[in-house]
Structure 1
Amino acid sequence: MSRHSRLSRLMLSAILALFAGSAFAAGGDIGQTTKQPTNWIAIGMFVAFVGMTLWITKWASKRTRSAADFYTAGGGITGFQNGLAIAGDYMSAASFLGITAAVMKDGYDGLIYALGFLVGWPILTFLMAERLRNLGKFTFADVAGYRFQQKPIRMFAAAGTLVVVAFYLIAQMVGAGALIKLLFGLDYWVAVVLVGVLMMVYVLFGGMTATTWVQIIKAGMLLCGVTFMALMVMSRFGFSFEKLFEAAVNVKTQVAAAAGKSPEEAHKAGLAIMGPGGFVKDPISAISFGMALMFGTAGLPHILMRFFTVPDAKQARKSVLWATTWIGYFYILIFIIGFGAIALVLTNPETSDVAKGVIKGGAGAANMAAVLVGKMVGGNVFMGFISAVAFATILAVVAGLTLSGASAVSHDLYATVIKQGNPAPGSELKVSRITTIILGIVAVLLGIAFEKQNVAFMVSLAFAIAASANFPVLILSLLWKNCTTRGAVIGGSLGLITSLVLTLLSPSVWEATLGHAKGSAPFPYTSPALFSMTIAFVSIWLFSITDKSANAKRERAAYEAQEVRAETGLGATKASGH
């Protein structure tokens, strides 16, 4: 333990040195966004947060002695705590900063995006939460492969997990670099390295215990921050939604008039923010995008992994209930803050180009909307707090993603496939920590390499892949007796490959990222989920019902025992007993 303590102190010293060095190195602009003056209040608050979380990591390292402790915190997390941690995983920087910016730009359309994320929770609540806890151990492959042949299903599950984690990680790392350049005035590479180093410290030494408590603290800070912001915004308008919306419509009308539109057109443009507009181009895109967000939630490995941290199925059910409560509350407040950004930030000449209705600072500056609302209602001190919370949000999500990726390699591939379920004592934990270091280094390098790329599609791609590969295999293995190893592996793999290929051929990548001519994308829709999910489900069904092997007969016969355990928990032990 003393070695861990020394390493933690060394990491903290390195982090403080990075901060100090970056303050003097804050020079020219990097990338597309404009770097702000160094925000010492934000840096001070962030260093305080880092110090607190490193202390938690040191405390957690003393409790992390086994694989169960590392992956699932020994099953000692309560439903309320786990619900808050799941909410923390879900309330990422993309939600806080991205959806606020979307509401500021498009009004009602921004709320559609938030609702898309939220509606995935009933599926988890009613179909999966209890079954996951009763059947699972460390990863979702434990559940999907409960009655299947271990080697093929584990290899598929690890591949699906690592692809989802990779795209999510790149998006978070690039987001960290761009946002910290905006918020703190630090150089891009400093922010990316900082996130990578801290994420490795949390996961290496604290495992799931440290990651969970970092998420809980971050979620608490974020919920308090957005509550204060929403209340202060509403107080500016006499706690009247009608006055807030009227002020926002007037701002958008004035912007349209300044752009040369007639009074009638300008008024129509202002009212457009109160209803659905151009966010979804056609019915197929709407259905496909909605399916990705809805079913992708139930296939995200770092979310599914959280159900194994609670002692029993009852606490798993409570986890989803609390997570849904916090996330729903958060998105309602984000809607208020987004309209507050229109009414307060876009009318301030210090922060915005009032005539054009955009925040100053060029591409990416819209991400400052939530932070600038914080400055308007709480001054520089509160802006510093919200800036630190934004960075903490990225840190916590990245730590959860890394842990799910490490568990896929160490538990699914190393322990189960390579060592055939009999790894040497302590070796699985060692492989997991080595994987964490490799993932951390890869994430930093990819974050730096993708600095100037349009990576917005990567988050939606992660959801589309999770919905197309992980979710069909998981739900059919739980609910359909005739599902077999052959069907699950072939169908899941086809869903994985199809979602990847169609996304690469979609306008968001083919045109926006690869630079091909507008209208030349071979696949015309933004999300592949409608097509790739259909292929996955049909393939699983087809290759399962045509499987007449002896293994398939045994797997179908084992379904009844699986169903009894999934529904009752008989035979399931606490996570610490695995």
Structure 2
Amino acid sequence: MTTQLAPLAATAGQSSVGNPWVNITIFGLFVAVTLVVVLRASKNNKTAADYYAGGRSFSGGQNGTAIAGDYLSAASFLGIVGAIAINGYDGFLYSIGFLVAWLVALLLVAELLRNTGKFTMADVLSFRLRQKPVRIAAAITTLAVCLFYLLAQMAGAGGLVSLLLGIDDRMGQSLVIVVVGALMIMYVLIGGMKGTTWVQIIKACLLIAGAFIMTVWVLGMYGFNLSALMGDAVAAAGGNEDLLKPGLKYGENITTKMDFISLALALVLGTAGLPHVLMRFYTVPTAKEARRSVVWAIWLIGAFYLFTLVLGYGAGALLGPDRILEAPGGVNSAAPLLAFELGGSLLLGVIAAVAFATILAVVAGLTITAAASFSHDVYANVIAKGKTTPEQEVKVARRTVVVIGVLSILGGIGAQGQNVAFLVALAFAVAASANLPTILYSLFWRRFTTRGAVWSMYGGLGSALVLIIFSPVMSGAESSMIPSADFALFPLSNPGLVSIPLAFLLGWLGSKLDTDGEDPRVQAEMEVRSLTGVGAEKAVDH
């Protein structure tokens, strides 16, 4: 490692990001503290409800803070600040989309899901539909969304830690991703949902406090005059006033405008279909606490996204786009570089540890969600047909954690260099296409059937994945994952504009063509339970 650290100090004028040993020390302290928390939490993991849902022991405020910790990912802190620094107004659209999305989750999903489910999204869907096909489809879509999201987090981890340690070769960054993946697996294996939740609460408090301090610092340098700050950002970008207007990234032509609409659809509708966010509603004791969770989350997340506006333009003003793009980690380096510019090695070390905590907390939440979906939906209810013990189910979940961890490490290595906010937007598109139509139909349409659910989930997931594969994300551009190839047949970078309406259409069509129908008594029971909560506590705690 010393061969990588030595050049860093010598290049202070270029890509220096402080003292790597300070950064490593702060990293180590954070990992040690959170491991102690996880170990303490793991002592109470006795049942499946403890491992999957934290024993349903968290209050609305605690769960809302944990949701903020789960939701404010590497994309929020690294990707969005970088996107605003480089693309200005169009970069801030990510923040707006991510925040507005919570209104959909609050008004349409949170309370109803908590009333009708037990551990996973598939519990809700299979309440009134046939168990086997629906649980398998829900598990597949859950795993797909989680893996996409994990790609973004692991790529962000590689870029961040590589920046802090001065590692600018691909092999070194890949090693960093392996280390992050190993830590993630350890956290989830030991702590389950309870340990993961406390890590997310700690991380949310640190992230919002760190962003607040940097925001006040940047504004203070400009006399709390946001116009002066934005003016400097324009000057640093060579007088490019398009930073302050819509259209720098998405207004060039009809294709980019359609891409923006597609992105907006994915961001606003995707949150209510994200499995790791939906699973958090089961960690509270009542539906009322589930609602309180979302309100808490909206306040915390809203404050944070206002901070990103200042931090993004601050990075643009104090660093300039060229320095950000040339740093190891590229656009994802804006926030750490800004911290170093403001407070030197110490502030950088703290902010970097916060960003690292962000990644660890989110990947832990994603991993336990994916593991729960496989073990609870596929193993316990399909393979074992309900004839299994909670202990055996948790054992399968732990093995699944290791498999998902390895897959996410390999995917993160392949996704290095991509903007993590953009990668997360793809995960949102897959969630909005594969999960949300089925959830809404199941909760609100009496004539929805198993065939409609299966068509909607597989159709939404398949169309989203196919369109991503044949989009500029994968090939045909310098920023593509395979820049040397060109098989981009679909012009848009985000598939949501096509895949989301298609999934709704397939759900409607499949239900109309299904002659079997479903049991009206079970449908009536689900409607009463989802709207009133009557019988919900007995169902979730049996």
Deviates further, 152-161 or 388-397: 388-397
Match of 2:459 in 1: 494
Question: Is the aligned partner of 1:482 residue 2:447?
Answer: yes
1:537-564 CA deviation, whole Å, 9 max, x = no partner? 1111111122221xx241x442211111
Partners of 1:34 and 1:358 lie apart in 2 by 8
**Does residue 1:323 correspond to 2:287, yes or no?**
no
Q: 1:543 & 1:108 partners in 2: Cα distance? A: 41
TM-score normalised by length of structure 1: 0.86
Deviation string for 1:508-565 (max 9, x for gaps)?
22312334677x621111221121111111111111122221xx241x4422111110
Once residues 535 and 183 of structure 1 are traced to their aligned partners in structure 2, the CA distance between those partners, rounded to angstroms, is: 43
Alignment of 1:139-150 (within 5 A): 139-150=120-131
- How many percent of aligned residue pairs carry the same amino acid? 47
Q: For the Cα contact (< 8 Å) 2:236–2:316, is it kept in 1?
A: yes
1:514 paired with 2:482, answer yes
Structure 1 477/42 Cα, relative in aligned 2: closer, same or farther at 3 Å?
same
Residues 181-205 of structure 1, C-alpha deviation per residue, up to 9 Å, x if partnerless? 1123363233222212211121111
Aligned to 1:63: 44
Match of 1:54 among 16, 35, 48: 35
1:329-354: per-residue Cα shift (whole Å, max 9, x none)? 001001001111122223xxxxxxxx
Q: 1:338 to 1:425 in 2, by over 3 A?
A: closer
Aligned: 1:533 with 2:507 = no
1:418 aligned onto 2:383 = yes
Letter in 1 for 2:496: A
The equivalent position to 1:273 in structure 2, one of 231, 243, 248, is: 243
Change (3 A) 1:28 1:421: farther
Size of the aligned set, in residue pairs, is 526
For the 8 Å contact 1:35–1:185, the answer to whether it is kept is: yes
8 A Cα contact 1:68 1:575, kept in partner: no
Amino acid of the residue matched to residue 84 of structure 2?
A: V
Higher mean C-alpha displacement, 449-458 vs 331-340: 449-458
Question: 8 Å contact 2:18–2:345 — kept in the other structure?
Answer: no
- Which residue number in structure 2 is paired with residue 210 of structure 1? 195
Secondary structure of 2:447's aligned partner: coil
Q: Flag the 1:304–1:189 CA change in 2: closer, same or farther, 3 A.
A: same
CA contact (8 A) 1:34 1:365 kept: no
Aligned-pair distance for 1:37? 6.7
Q: Spell out the pairing of 1:179-578 with structure 2 (5 A cutoff).
A: 179-185=160-166, 187-252=172-237, 255=238, 266=239, 269=240, 271-281=241-251, 282=254, 283-346=257-320, 357-359=322-324, 361-362=326-327, 364-451=329-416, 458-511=423-476, 512-515=480-483, 521-549=488-516, 552-554=517-519, 556-573=520-537, 577-578=541-542
- For residues 293 and 273 of structure 1, the distance between their equivalents in structure 2, rounded to whole angstroms, comes to 22
Amino acid at match of 1:99: I
CA contact (8 A) 1:75 1:574 kept: no
Please tell me the residue identity of whatever aligns with 1:415.
A
SS class of match (2:474): helix
Distance 1:363 1:180, change over 3 A: closer
CA contact (8 A) 1:124 1:298 kept: yes
Contact 2:148–2:426, Cα closer than 8 Å, also in 1: yes
Q: Which amino acid aligns with 1:188?
A: Q
Opposite residue 171 of structure 1, the aligned amino acid is A
C-alpha distance after superposition, 1:420-445 (max 9, x if no partner): 12213510010001111222222223
Rg (Cα) greater in structure: 1
Instruction: Tell me the distance in 2 between the aligned counterparts of 1:313 and 1:146.
Output: 17
Shift of 1:177: 1.5
Q: Residues 439-463 of structure 1: CA distance to partner in whole angstroms, max 9, x if unpaired?
A: 2222223333554678775422211
Q: Deviations over 1:271-329 (max 9, x none)?
A: 21111123224343222111111111111111111000001111100111111111110
**Letter matched to residue 525 of structure 2:** A
* C-alpha RMSD of the superposition: 2.3
1:246 shift after superposition:
2.5
CA, structure 1 residues 537+338, in 2 after alignment: closer, same or farther (shift >3 Å)?
A: same
Offset at 1:502? 1.0
Residues 97-117 of structure 1: CA deviation (Å, up to 9, x unaligned): 111111111211111111111
Residues 367 and 553 of structure 1: CA distance in aligned 2, closer, same or farther (over 3 Å): closer
Task: Indicate conservation of the 8 Å contact 1:454/1:513, yes or no.
Answer: no
Question: TM-score by structure 2 length?
Answer: 0.92
Deviation, 1:576, is 7.5
**Counterpart residue identity of residue 245, structure 2:** G
Q: Which amino acid aligns with 1:114?
A: S
Larger CA deviation: 101-110 vs 71-80: 101-110
Task: Note the C-alpha offset of 1:25.
Answer: 6.4
What's the CA shift for 1:490? 1.5
Whole-angstrom CA distance in 2 between matches of 1:399 and 1:163: 16
Instruction: List 4+ stretches of structure 1 deviating above 6 A.
Output: 452-456
Preserved CA contact (<8 Å) 1:167 1:461: yes
**Conserved in 2, the CA contact under 8 Å of 1:77 and 1:310?**
yes
Name the aligned partner's letter for residue 227 of structure 1: F
Conserved? CA contact 1:125–1:320, under 8 Å = yes
Separation in 2, partners of 1:251, 1:453: 24
What's the offset of the Cα at 1:214? 0.3
- Paired position in structure 2 for 1:79: 60
Tell me, in whole angstroms, the C-alpha distance in 1 between the residues paired with 2:15 and 2:339.
19
The aligned residue for residue 10 of structure 1 is none
Stretches of structure 1 lacking an aligned partner (at least 5 in a row): 1-21, 256-265, 347-355
Name the SS for the 1:358 alignment partner. Answer: helix
Q: Read off the aligned partner of 2:250 and give its amino acid letter.
A: V
